[in-house]
Structure 1
């Protein structure tokens, strides 16, 4: 699952984040990650310790784990899923628009924006999309 970023895998990670100790998490004493009412609060509930028996930089590991608390992970995953949905919608709108901007000629060719000829409708649409992208830069 670590490298699986499909929508289904992300939704499974959302479920895991909901079951974990809720944050925010803070890098507290030494190499310990805990929850606190505020960053300044000295009273923390330990989530995990990265110091004993762990390899690497335990301070850096604790800081990274604290920055990846369930609320942060949930927000990131929800944003990814939202952006994927928005991207899908925008792509379909672009394809719809571009499909209306190309025309089939009597000879079976497809003409694009400035009269170029293409063998397929898809090639004409892709040419149009490339030109639109360059105009938007």
Structure 2
């Protein structure tokens, strides 16, 4: 995912191309990791000093709903990153120090399904947290 593709998805879903949305997306594009709203906000407010924190937050949540962004919670705070475009189903290891992610190319759902007979699973998310080699 990148800024141009994200703006196209927003347009296809009836959202206008605004400079604020473009700047948020550009900020995310410069990070290959999860970034907190506070981190994004500190850069965003430099360009838009009159914009509210809620404006940035609402835009990030809307983009997550449209699957432009992925979100997770680290240290009790919501973090966002561009939706991963690797091919096929996968999950992530997330560094709790720097937010960097590494794909995990296996899924524990087969074991889970065996333990939930007669249940219909609609979706799932599997994340592993720890420290990457750089932060270790």
Q: Give the TM interval when normalised to the shorter protein.
A: under 0.3
Q: Could you say which structure has the greater relative contact order, defined with CA pairs below 8 angstroms and 6 or more residues apart?
A: 2
Structure number with the higher strand fraction is 2
Look at both structures and tell me which one has the larger radius of gyration over its CA atoms: 1
Structure number with the higher helix fraction is 1
In the superposition, the TM-score normalised over structure 2's length comes to 0.23
